[in-house]
Amino acid sequence: MIRALIFDVDETLVYYESYNTEAWFSRYLKPALQERGINLDFLTYRKMVKGILPRSYVETLGINHVEFWKLVDTVNLEYRKALAKEGKIKVFPDVPQTLPELKTMGLKLAAVSNASQDCTEFVLRLFDLRKYFDAVFGKDYSYLDGVKPNPYLIQKSLKALNVSPNEALVVGDSELDVKAAHRAGIKAVQVLRFNNFVDDADYHIKDLNALVDLVKKLVNEQRH
């Protein structure tokens, strides 16, 4: 029986208008790194973010990886605050109406993000969404390589919600979400926000209204 849903946050619940990773890196992060004598190219940074290289890779450059990611996250939070002031962080219109509906169905909800805890909490509170989640997990500085596609954060959510993998679904927009779900033994629901179809997802939905329908269908099937 489905008892819990574990949501990705960025590009699943909220999105960033005119956001460009390379432009953010050049304008915000690179100067902050250079101030501290850290020279890192964008490609290497992206490989760490995408999980191609471990988060701890910067140790090979003589940089403490925990301090590095704390700096990245400090810059990222300031950037998000600036975007919010400009009205450039948006919540998908189906989100505010469907999260309460999912809660009234008796489901436990968690939010999981590769962004920092502070960044994740900030965007959820920005749209008054935090109250719907029983647990929220951003990246864990004690295990930085535990970000998606590693199942670590998903597994933390299962434990916090006190549910087993077959009682949950992971809802996200990307291949990272699908891989993390499967590595945790959970079925993955991909929301097709930007037409980035992931073949390996167990279910594909166009929005969270379709998620409500899917969960009702699955629960009904399991009862019969």
pLDDT in tens, 46-63: 999 988 899 999 999 899
175 and 99 assigned to the same domain? yes
199 and 104 assigned to the same domain? yes
37 and 142 assigned to the same domain? no
Q: 3-state DSSP call for residue 192?
A: coil
155 and 218 assigned to the same domain? yes
Instruction: Characterise 161 by phi-psi region: left (phi > 0), alpha (psi -120 to 50), beta (else).
Output: alpha
Cis peptide preceding 149, ω within 30 of 0: yes
Segments forming the whole domain that contains residue 155:
4-16+90-223
Q: What is the pLDDT of residues 12-39, one digit of tens each?
A: 999 999 888 999 999 999 999 999 999 9
The whole-number pLDDT of residue 100 equals: 98
Query: How many domains is the chain partitioned into structurally?
Result: 2
Distances (CA, A) of 13 to 37, 96, 103, 129, 208: 36, 9, 16, 9, 9
Lowest mean pLDDT among 1-10, 45-54, 130-139, 162-171: 45-54
| pTM for the structure as a whole | 0.95
81 and 94 assigned to the same domain? no
Question: How far is residue 217's CA from residue 52's CA, in Å, rounded to a whole number?
Answer: 36
167 and 207 assigned to the same domain? yes
Last residue in a domain, options 85, 111, 128? 85
Question: How far is residue 38's CA from residue 73's CA, in Å, rounded to a whole number?
Answer: 16
Token readout for 115 is 């962004």
What is the share, in percent, of the chain residues with pLDDT greater than 90? 92
The whole-number pLDDT of residue 124 equals: 98
Q: What is the pLDDT of residues 64-80, one digit of tens each?
A: 999 999 999 999 999 99
Q: Across residues 101-120, what is the average pLDDT?
A: 97
The whole-number pLDDT of residue 38 equals: 92
pLDDT bucket at 223, cuts 50 / 70 / 90: confident
Token readout for 96 is 């505010």
125 and 204 assigned to the same domain? yes
Alpha-carbon Rg for the chain, nearest whole angstrom, is 18
